[in-house]
Amino acid sequence: MRSIAALMAISIMLIGCKNDKKSEENEAKTEVAESNSSNKMQSDSSEIEITPISHATAVFKWGESVFYTDPVGGAEVFEGESKPDFILITDIHGDHMNAETLQALELENTKIIVPAAVQKKLPEALQSNLIVMNNGDSKEVMGFRIEAVPMYNLPQSKDAMHEKGRGNGYVLEMNNKRLYISGDTEDIPEMRNLENIDVALVSMNLPYTMPVDQAADGVLAFKPKKVIPYHYRGKDGFSDIEEFKKLVNEGNQNIQVELMEWYPDNNKS
- In the chain, % of residues over pLDDT 90: 75
Asked if the model's pLDDT at residue 20 lies above 80, the reply is: no
Predicted local confidence at residue 141, as pLDDT: 95
pLDDT digits (tens, 9 = 90+) for 201-246: 999 999 999 999 999 999 999 999 999 999 999 998 999 999 999 9
Asked if the model's pLDDT at residue 148 lies above 90, the reply is: yes
Query: Alpha-carbon distance 243 to 267, whole Å?
Result: 20
Predicted local confidence at residue 159, as pLDDT: 67
Asked if the model's pLDDT at residue 18 lies above 60, the reply is: no
pLDDT digits (tens, 9 = 90+) for 33-51: 333 333 222 334 348 999 9
Asked if the model's pLDDT at residue 263 lies above 90, the reply is: yes
> What amino acid is encoded at 173 in this protein?
E
Angle between helices 212-222 and 241-251 (to 10 degrees): 40
Which CATH architecture best describes the domain 47-257? 4-Layer Sandwich (3.60)
Tell me how far CA of residue 116 lies from CA of 66, 119, 130, in angstroms. 23, 5, 10
> Which range is least confidently modeled, 65-69, 94-98, 152-156?
152-156
Asked if the model's pLDDT at residue 87 lies above 50, the reply is: yes
Q: Which helix H or strand E contains 203, and what residues bound it?
A: strand 199-203
1 burial level (CB within 10 Å; 0-12, 13-18, 19+) = exposed
pLDDT tier, 9 (very low <50, low <70, confident <90, very high otherwise): very low
pLDDT tier, 266 (very low <50, low <70, confident <90, very high otherwise): low
DSSP symbols for 187-202: S-HHHHT--S-SEEEE
Residue spans per domain, the chain: 1-43, 47-257
* Sheet of strand 48-54: strand arrangement: 48-54, 57-62, 65-69, 86-88, 111-114, 130-132
pLDDT tier, 162 (very low <50, low <70, confident <90, very high otherwise): confident
Return all residues near 175 (Cβ < 8 A) that are at least 6 apart. Answer: 47, 63
Residue 32: alpha-carbon gap to chain centroid? 29
pLDDT, mean over the chain: 85
Dihedrals φ, ψ of 54, to 5°? Answer: -175, 130
pLDDT tier, 69 (very low <50, low <70, confident <90, very high otherwise): very high
Query: Alpha-carbon distance 98 to 112, whole Å?
Result: 12
Cross-strand bridge partners of residue 234: 237
Higher pLDDT, 87 or 156: 87
Q: HSE (CB half, 13 Å, CA atoms) of 242?
A: 0
